[in-house]
Structure formats: structure tokens, C-alpha cells
Structure 1
Amino acid sequence: MAVAPKFAAQKLRLGTAASSSAAAVSPAVHTLEFYLDYVCPFSAKQFLTLYNTIVPLIKSNPTWASQVEIIFRHQVQPWHPSSTLVHEAGVAVQRVSPEKFWAFSEALFKDQKAYFDVNVVNETRNQTYKRLAKLAGSVGVDEGKIYDLLAISDKPGEDGSLNTGNKVTNDLKLLIKAARLVGVHVSPTVLFDGLVAGDISSGWTKEQWEEWLGKNLV
């Protein structure tokens, strides 16, 4: 599935096109899409392996790098109540500093336990947003701008609405609809060229990934 231009930060192109025209006629041959939940332990395991081990591995192989692009897909899971909040923060970072999206995602996955049930149950929604904005600040994103996008007002909207949402609510709706459209239900789920790659595990080692990439990036 395509990535809307406004969400382009979710796409990680690993090869270097010779020119913009070359990029237009010679796109990556394959696509790996990772449907991940920031508060899912298995998603964290897969993302951190992907970002810190597999991406450098692919980049070190010019043939592989020119043949694949990687896409991060937001997979909000309602049985983790804070999932919506942390993904809203990811969307806010995409808007404010798209170049920091992957670094923020790494920081959030490393700190994900801070947003598990027992660590959010006794704080207000806006207090959780403040912590997320501070985390964004730790990777060089404007903390104030992030909180401004996330904060929920305690006043009714101009039309009297009490479900006012925040400034990234509509973006998150689009991302959730996209996941539903392809029938992804749980995280982590990996799609290879648009089809679920059920053989890929969050526990895969570098060697297992290397073997799989060697067989599939041809």
C-alpha cells in the first residue's frame, strides 16, 4: 500500500538514487511493511533489531539497499489503552520533525515500559502527553510544539462537542483506517510486497534475517 506524502517519514529508503528522475523510473522492487505498536513488547523487540541491526545490514549491501524500502505502520491496539496516546506522539513528531521520526520511535520503544498500564493509570491523559513531549525533546524535537499538538482541552468545542480530540486525531484516524483496509489486527505483523509474511518472527536473529533477505531480495 502507498504512503501518503504527509506520512512520508514512515518510509525508510535505504538505497541512493542517482538522480530524482532515476528514482521516478526505478523505484524499490520490494516493500517490507512493519505494523508495530509502541507498547507491545514484541514490537519493540522487532523494531530495535530492525533499526539497529537489519537496516545497517541492508545498507551494507548495495544490491539489497537498491531493491527494498521499509515502512513503519502505526498499529494501535485498544487492549493497551495507552497505545492511542503513544502513537499520537509518533504522529506529532512526524508533523513537527519528520526527520526525527525513526529516532523518536527508537527512543519510545526503548522506554515503552514507562507507558504500560501500571505506569499511566494514575496520571491524566495530558500528563502522559507531557512525558511523551519530553521524550521527543530528548531526540531533538521541539517539546512545546509536540505538546501543543497532543494536549486535550477541558473546554467544549465551538460546536459544543465534548469529544474534541487533539490536533493529530484526524491523522491517526487515517492511519488506523489504512491498517484496517488490509486486515491487519495484531502487532507485530510484517507484510512483504503487500502480503503477510507469517514466517518472519520478532525473535529473528541477524543470521536469520540475512538468510531470508538473501532468498527474497532477488
Structure 2
Amino acid sequence: MPRGRPPAYTREQVLAAAITVADTEGLEAVTMRRIATEIGAGAMSLYTYVPDREHLIDLMVDRVAGEPVPPAVTGDWRADSLALVAMQRDLMLAHPWLPRVLAGRRITGRNLLGFLEHGLRALEPAGLPGITKMTLLGLFTGFVASYVTGELAGAASSVEEIGAAVASGDFPQLARVLSEGGGAPPDFRMIADWMIAGLVEQARGR
């Protein structure tokens, strides 16, 4: 059978395949050879679309950052920031590889820049300098990434798992906390609200 011209692929197809592999198998499974196989291209031909794996991951991050519709900005910096971090959490839970690649990631893609722009508008009523707002947004994202990492790992230890250690008497403060009870621990939105309010008020010098 005569050999025809190789099929043309788009960068969007490459990114969609890479994101699907990362979502289902983890980021380690995302290699240039694997993604080329997923779209039916030759391994070397993938370099036509992306120069290397790190650049591919940059593009993947920016691509998923454009999936959710940012919540409307209402003028209430606290509520708007909380809505924004809640959206981030949903996005990271949908793409479990995302939290680990955000640290130190370049913010150059249009979707990431759009997210930054939205965050700056959300914090505008707080009356903070621009560099302070950008720093706070980085801290917010770091908090969400850490929280989601714990959720995905099932990091919350049960009372039974630490009961033996507490019974040794070596951890009196922990024993006291456990003896207090107090019902269910604070949920994400409550903790996020504490974090946002505390950081912003501290930045405002209060």
C-alpha cells in the first residue's frame, strides 16, 4: 500500500493527549515518546510541536488554567478571593498532577496571566500595593496546592492511628486536643477564609 503523507497534528491535540495521560496515570507517564504514541505520531515529530518535556508541561498548566470560568468580581475582596481559591481547588482536584508542578512555574501563558489579572482585580478593594497583591496571590495558590496534596494523599490521620503514641504520655498537647473533641474539623472554605483574611489584614498593617 503506498505510503501517504503523515497526518498533520495540532498543538491542541498534543496537549489534550498529554493532559489525559497525566490525569489518569500521573505526570511521570508524560514523556515525549508516550505522547507521540498517543496521537499516532513519530517520537521525533513531536518536537515539531513542543521543544521539550518541560515546555510541554508549561503548556499543559496554561491549558488547564483556562478550563474554569473565573467567578464574577463583586468588589468584596474577601469573598472574591475565597471564590477564586475554591475554583483553584476544584481545578487541582480535577488534575491531580497540577499542585506539584506549580511551584516555580513560569507565568507566561495567556490563561495563567488571565488568572493573575483576575486575582489582582479581586484584591483591588483591599487597597494594597501591586507587588503585595501578587505576593498574596502566590501564597493563596501555595496554600491550595498544599491542601489539595494532603487531600489526594489522604493525609488526615485518624484518632485510632495516633492513639498509641498519645497514650505514651509523650504528647500532652496533642492528647489534650483529642480529648476536647469538638466535632468535625474546619472545612476547606473556612480554613481558606482564615488564611485570606489573616494575610490581607496583616499586609494592611492591622
- Which TM-score band (shorter chain)? under 0.3
| Greater fraction of residues in strand | 1
Q: Relative contact order (C-alpha < 8 Å, sep 6+): which is higher?
A: 1
* Rg larger in structure: 2
TM-score by length of 2: 0.28
| Greater fraction of residues in helix | 2
